Homo-oligomer: A and B are copies of this chain.
Amino acid sequence: MAASTSPETKLSSGLPGLDTMLDGGFNKGRVILILGEPGTGKTIICSQYLYRGAAELGEISMFIGMNEPKSRFTREMLNLGMDFAKLEADGKFKYVDATEVRKIPDTAKVGRIAVGGRELGLVNLLDTIQSSIAKFDPARIALDSMSDLVFRFPSVEERRPVVLDMIETLQSTSATSLLTSELLSTGEERMLQPEEYLAEGVLLMRTLRKGVRTIQILKMRGSKVDTHPRPYVITGKGLEVLATEEVY
């Protein structure tokens, strides 16, 4: 076998422990899925990722918010010590409001053609993403959460193409993207979700029975990673991953 080529460029996740697990950070240009139970900090991990880029590395960062308006997002993150309003004023951060996707009517009309409202919602979302990217050319993107749209497509054969469209839209840019999704069930035995196969990387965030939260890298193309679940805590400054501790 030929000698290995130079490894891919890494972007720090903004979480030192997670960077350790990731062998340095997320691989440049990848679309990574953050799949988690409620309350595990999916939005916070996105914010730390964007903040790291915008505040410390001068990279343009974009948050596509599907479940909360900018004001709430900004306030929440300020509580964790991340001042996105200031970053936006500095031109380093852009909040794209995509919350209308939650309120789509059941049917709509595009010109004279009746279209299912949920399909229209998808088309609108993809348009919003593409035009925002064209305008701001971000290095880092977080889309939170695809479940706000995808829940309208409950069967696997409906859900999979929708997820694919979202991921390919993000892949078509030069940005490195995080994409959050909601886990459908708790426990060790679970149905796999199509986004886990379609994304290039998958982080799984769970709360174990005793209340310990864990993060596990299920998948990361182009990178050697630590595949063990690791505990983490949510502090006043965001998530802190304990990359050398075991949970079982």
Contact = CB atoms under 8 A, between A and B. Distances in A.
A118 to B, nearest CB: 9
A28 to B, nearest CB: 12
A135 interface: no
Interface string A50-87: 01000100000000000100000000101111110000
Contact of A188 (B209, B218, B222, B229): B209
A207 B238 CA distance: 28
Contacts of A82: 1-2
Given A4-B79, A185-B192, 14 more contacts: A1-B238, A2-B55, A2-B83, A5-B78, A67-B198, A76-B221, A152-B157, A154-B155, A182-B197, A183-B192, A185-B191, A186-B190, A189-B189, A207-B227
B248 A197 contact: no
Name the interface size band of chain A: 35 or more
A102 B164 contact: yes
Contacts of A155: 154
A237 B183 contact: no
Contacts of A67: 198
B210 A236 contact: no
A218 B157 contact: no
A209 B248 contact: yes
A248 B210 CA distance: 7
Interface string A152-194: 1111110011001000000000000000001111111111101
Nearest to A209: B188
A10 interface: no
20 contacts: A1-B237, A4-B236, A7-B236, A37-B218, A38-B192, A38-B196, A39-B201, A39-B219, A40-B219, A76-B221, A79-B222, A147-B197, A151-B160, A153-B157, A184-B192, A186-B188, A187-B188, A189-B190, A210-B248, A224-B235
A111 interface: no
